[in-house]
A and B are shown apart, each in its own frame.
Chain A
């Protein structure tokens, strides 16, 4: 059965890839951008760029309006109660670092932070380093064999000392959705903050962070078909009020003196310096474009592709999938073949997939694997991509065996 993508034609990169003989299956690393996003960015700069929130001149007003309109769009996309819950960041990594610094003053020695064993370095290292600074205990929640946080262990490990639980919505290595509702309950029973890393999850389906039980939800634009250097931190109003400012500079300050200053509340108090206005406008255009598509068709297409990908992998001897992926991607290892060799052979054939530890080194140590090959899909992926991948994989396996 062929699975064409009705959205692919909106992405100019695929014509370029066709010319270069490239099969792009690395969307979990970064997504291609629809033409509407490219046009919006060009139009913004072509009409005259200006800084936001500062100038009284017309271009400045226009830039500020466009920028704030994106905040409204993101709020609407996430089902936020108010646009004030939307903080612009440079990406997921910055959002998580913001939280680790912004919440730091609430922690005292002996407090615990719980993360899962599958976290990306971005949702591990900020907490690990916070734990070191404040003499906290970092608790790692183990996984089930299929690749979800083990709720039995979690219910024992999340306890009265737990002050914060930070979990990925969708694993960037295993492609598994995490049991957020249950984990949120466990966290909130202890009055702990519940932080959700939405970097991968936000791309597949529309999610309301409040419904997920999150206090904070972070994601990046570039995986959501928008440019790099723009990301979002959503916070529940009460949770945002608990944050202390972490980066200081222009426009986050209400009143400044040589020896002291007062700062704005969220969102402005967390947006020091000139923001990436063009990238934000690109994110707004990406959300407009996504909103105009049929959400359930996209979800159905992505799920059908994932099933096809897994069927193809299962049909090949010695190819082992890590965990039980539910959408978007699959990580594989081939017994007796080094992942770097596989990656070389696929790269030579124009297959753009990622090999290595996918910024989750501790997970690979725990799984006892040196690395994996990750095939990841977007809404523009189609069955032809998978056929080309499997043909290249068969060639690679033949050469290496």
Chain B
């Protein structure tokens, strides 16, 4: 288990104090606005397997990996934002063992992984790992 970044801790604090679906949904919509969006939506950055379109880009600074992501769906942008809050700044080995199910579970968002959109989030995580490996 890696130490949470400041951004991840902020997400954890916010979501664990949210009660009920409405509060969680409002939070996701707020977090959607914090998502570091991709600069341009290029076909090669598109992640397939998502019901909604998602784009992911990557850059490396030393050992650390940073991602940007975009989507037309605000809820999906919110989910991507909390995902990147956890994953951005991690090293390749840390990304490889990051348990996304556990992280969304801590935020009370585990249902979003099992939903069909969840397959999309899984595809996003796989893409992030592949980008970090390359």
Task: Give residues in A with beta carbon < 8 Å to B.
Answer: 338, 340-341, 344-345, 347-349, 355-356, 370-371, 395, 399-400
* 27 interchain pairs, CB-CB under 8 A: A338-B52, A338-B73, A340-B51, A340-B52, A340-B73, A340-B117, A341-B73, A341-B74, A341-B76, A344-B25, A344-B73, A344-B75, A344-B112, A344-B117, A345-B25, A347-B111, A347-B115, A348-B21, A349-B21, A355-B51, A356-B51, A370-B52, A370-B72, A399-B22, A399-B26, A399-B29, A400-B29
Q: Give the complex CA separation of A338 and B29 in angstroms.
A: 12
Query: Which of B24, B26, B75 interacts with A341 by CB under 8 Å?
Result: B75
Chain B residues positioned under 8 Å from A395 (CB to CB) = 22
Residues of chain A within 8 A of B21, CB atoms compared:
348-349
Task: For B111, list chain A residues within 8 Å (CB).
Answer: 347
Which A-chain residue is minimally distant from B52 (CB atoms)? Answer: A340
User: Of A344, A371, A399, A400, which is in contact with the most chain B CB atoms at under 10 Å from its CB?
Assistant: A344
Report Cα–Cα, A395/B74, bound state, in Å.
16
> Which residue from A340, A355, A356, A399 sits with its C-beta under 8 Å from B25?
A399
Complex CA gap A395/B29 in Å reads 14
Closest to A356 in B: B51
CB distance from B26 to the nearest CB of A (A): 7
> Could you tell me the distance in whole angstroms from the C-beta of B75 to the nearest C-beta in chain A?
4
- The chain A residue sitting closest to B72, CB to CB, is A338
Which residues of B are found within 8 Å of A345, using beta-carbon distances?
Answer: 25, 75
The answer on a CB contact under 8 Å between B51 and A400 is: no
- Number of residues on chain B facing chain A (CB within 8 A): 17
A395–B21 alpha-carbon span in the complex (Å): 11
Q: Which residues from B are CB-within-8-Å of A399?
A: 22, 25-26, 29
A348 and chain B: residue at smallest CB distance: B21
Q: In the complex, how many angstroms separate the beta carbon of A186 from the nearest chain B beta carbon?
A: 37
Cα A349 to Cα B52 in complex, Å, equals 21
Of the residues B24, B26, B29, B76, contact of A340 by C-beta under 8 Å = B76
Complex interface residues of chain B between 51 and 65 (CB less than 8 A to chain A): 51-52
With the chains together, A340 CA to B21 CA distance in Å? Answer: 16
B79 to chain A, nearest CB (A): 9
Which residues of the other chain, A, contact B117 by a CB distance below 8 angstroms? 340, 344
Residues in B neighbouring A344, C-beta threshold 8 A: 25, 73, 75, 112, 117
CA distance A348 to B21 in the complex (A): 6
Closest partner residue, chain B, to A340 (CB atom): B73
Segment 20-35 of B: residues with Cβ below 8 Å from A = 21-22, 24-26, 29
User: Closest B-chain residue to A371, C-beta based?
Assistant: B51
Separation of A348 and B24 alpha carbons in the complex (Å)? 10
Which residues of chain B come closer than 8 Å to A349, judged between CB atoms?
Answer: 21
* Interchain CB contact (< 8 A) of B74 among A338, A348, A356, A370: A338
Instruction: Give the 4 A-B CB pairs with smallest separation, nearest first.
Output: A348-B21, A340-B73, A338-B73, A344-B75
**Chain A residues in 8 Å Cβ range of B76:** 340-341
Apart from A348-B22, A400-B29, list 10 A-B contacts with CB within 8 A. A338-B52, A340-B51, A340-B75, A340-B117, A341-B73, A341-B75, A345-B75, A370-B52, A395-B22, A399-B22
Chain A proximity mask over B1-39: 1 for CB below 8 Å, otherwise 0? 000000000000000000001101110010000000000
Q: How far is the CB of A187 from chain B (nearest CB, A)?
A: 36
**A345 vs B117: C-alpha distance when bound (angstroms):** 13
Residue of A whose beta carbon sits closest to that of B112: A344
Q: Which of B52, B74, B115 contacts A400 (CB 8 A)?
A: B74
Q: In whole angstroms, how far apart are the Cα atoms of A64 and B50 in the complex?
A: 45
**Alpha-carbon distance between A129 and B104 when the two chains are bound, in angstroms:** 41
The CA of A348 and the CA of B76, in the complex, are separated in Å by 14
Assembled-state Cα–Cα distance A400/B22 (Å): 11
How distant is the Cα of A340 from the Cα of B29 in the complex, in angstroms?
Answer: 13
Q: What's the minimum C-beta distance from A355 to chain B, rounded to whole angstroms?
A: 7
A392 to B94, CA, bound (A): 40
Please encode chain B, from 77 to 113, with 1 for each CB lying within 8 Å of some chain A CB and 0 for all others: 0000000000000000000000000000000000110
A399 to chain B: closest residue by CB = B25
State the Cβ distance, A373 to closest chain B Cβ, in Å: 12
A104–B74 alpha-carbon span in the complex (Å): 47
Task: Determine the distance from Cα of A338 to Cα of B75 in the docked complex, in whole angstroms.
Answer: 9
A102 to B22, CA, bound (A): 53
Most buried by A among B24, B52, B74: B52
CA distance A348 to B115 in the complex (A): 11
Closest to B24 in A: A348
B30 vs chain A, min Cβ distance (A) = 11
Q: CB-nearest residue of chain A relative to B26?
A: A399
Complex Cα distance, B77 from A400, in Å, reads 14
The residues of B that contact A370 with a CB separation of less than 8 Å are 52, 72
Return B48 CB to nearest CB of chain A, in Å. 13
Nearest CB in chain B: distance from A180 CB, A: 32
Question: How far apart are B19's CB and chain A's nearest CB, in angstroms?
Answer: 13
